[in-house]
Structure 1
Amino acid sequence: MSFELSREQFRTMILYDWKIGLTYKDSHARLVQAWGEQAPSDHTVFNWFREFQRNKFSVQDAPRSGRPSTSVTQQTIDAVRTIIEGDPHSTYQQIETILGISSTAINSIIHDYLNLRKVCARWVPHTLTDDQKQLHVQFCGHSLKRFEEGQSRRVFDIITGDEAWFYHYDPELKEQSKVWMSTTDPHPTKVHRNKSAGKRMVAIFFMKSGLIKSVPLETGATVNANWYVNTCLPQVFTAVSERRETRGLRGLIFHDDNPRPHRAWTTNEFLLENHVEQYPNPPYSPDLSPCDFFLFPKLKKQLRGIRFNDDNEMLTALEQAIDSLTKEDFKNCCEDWFIRMHKCIDANGQYFEKIN
């Protein structure tokens, strides 16, 4: 017999699993085994476990005003078809706002009635060796244990950062050009545009509590150990001390990746002199680097497709993009980081599909 469970019913089962002491991974596995594709995602199970740990045991939806209808009728099917034909880039949220129906109904209309899908290429950044995969697994296992699956207060002591190029003109990603199409239609094409020659490198650092510091590289300069130690990190550590007035740098855990300036002996000495612990990311692992899977994509997405006349215009727009990020964004990034560690272990250290 085929039937669907409500969100409240799934949440009740998750509450039971939490109560008897299962981990959120074990709970998710049980739900998938029993309910297949109906089962909530591991991220959803993780979030409900966290709610129950906070003694919030209600499994009911929070009340919302004006909740949209979930009905699927010929009229709504035709309306969704008209919207997508008019704008193939339409999102669920846009359709929901226009028609006032739920995302569940929209999903059913698009996939079950209109038989449409969005397509995008998938890539991997590097061909990993067995040793590199093992390093990924070891890093994730150690981090999950040390920081108690992300629940430890020490997570607030982690600062992470990296450098990235920001361009006077950066064309839209293929992801941003996705359109709705029938399964029988040929894939659409788009003229390739190159990035501009004008660009500026910027180092950006943040913690779970929010942004700490962005440091533009001087025009014509290069990122080396001298710049990293004498220009970049002093500004970052000053900002940390201002944020943490009572603790300063005490207990700070410095997470970054592995280019030469970051691993140079002068950098090691500087961190040691400031009593800051190094916590390097494993090699070739952008899917485990918060800057790579969260910060830089979010910022660059806001700047893509815009032409800037000079560095000042671009840097001003970048600061505005940074300011648009909320504390909730940084908090969610940190939570996603630990979920990604589980995914990495499950994939035996290989790259895995991003969760956002």
Structure 2
Amino acid sequence: MLNKAFGDSCMSKTQAYEWYKEFNAGREIVEYLSRSNRPSSSTIADNIDKNKILLLEIRHMSVRDLAQERDISTMSSYRILSDILGMKRVAERLLPKELNVLQKEHRKQVALDMVSRADSEPNFMNRIITGGETWVYEYDMQTSRQSSEWRYDDEPKPKKPRQSRSKVKVM
């Protein structure tokens, strides 16, 4: 009935129970009582700046770790990151394979060599033998959630190469 009459400005059911318990215990003052040496909000400018600096150093940090490091609540830490700083937890974008400069150059040379041989020798492509292979993948130590990072909307997603094949090949 109170929700229909007062809408959003109505006190919640839990809060009403807590006030009832306080008045039964002997409380007579209706105003909120002051708290002992606690700031009214942990989303003050000092906490925001320190959270931002800490998070930009270690982007993989979880909200819980950040809250423990700064000695504030987990929800306040999350509110600072998402609402005030506008950051999101972003998973890494998987790339097919990440090659270094030497590997790319080697692949290019092999391809050019095969094209030149195919032009000079008419039966060269018929002499190439292919077969089925089974590759053993190496173990990735981090899950996608563990490797995700806090990023701003305008920042690019972090990149992570797909699982690479190990040196051991099973035929």
- TM-score class, shorter-chain normalisation, is 0.3 to 0.5
Q: Larger radius of gyration, structure 1 or 2?
A: 2
TM-score (norm 1): 0.23
TM-score (norm 2): 0.46
Which structure has more strand as a fraction of its residues? 2
- Greater relative contact order (CA < 8 Å, ≥ 6 in sequence): 2
